[in-house]
Structure 1
């Protein structure tokens, strides 16, 4: 069975008690959070850096960028491929699953600087975020 041209795969993950997703084409890997080194004078959303197999990886808290309460910090890190060769990871609460999404099913009427749109999944919404806007 061939994949539809407008079908994409997204990684669904949790921040606080809400579901979010990103296109898996942007993701390099998912790792366990390791000890972070804080950076003085860094942006509010930068948690610090960690060593990922010899590469210094900047760890970002997407909750700060998205204006979410930060009741706890997760123990998983989604590492992104970036166009400028930087290694950036998001600390998330929980990885859910990879799902296929038809581009036509994405409601982009709520698109903003950091949100691509929303996807209805069961009786809930999954917010599709733009890594490029959070990784700055």
Structure 2
């Protein structure tokens, strides 16, 4: 990641021979604000697929991304690269959340009306014969 918060050298994503004007998501002439109708290029979806993200999931992130960056007024050289960074962050966050999901506990269960978690512990239940 470079100082602009993008995925390093754009030539790594698009090849050394592609000019800024030819690269999807990059406009010639420098940094631009995100267009309100911005959509990631096919290359972003191809990248996402290689990293285990479905097109549907990646596409579902676009609206929030556009709203956020429209509100900030930030200008970027490549909105595709910025979006890739966002997808990486979301994927890492999802993986962390899934890895740390606790096992269900007594208090997480759905009990009948009037029941408490203590009613489910066998040695605390009075023996009806005793």
Normalised-by-shorter TM-score class: under 0.3
Which structure carries more strand by proportion? 1
TM-score (normalised: structure 1): 0.22
TM-score (normalised: structure 2): 0.23
Q: Which has the larger radius of gyration?
A: 2
Which structure carries more helix by proportion? 2
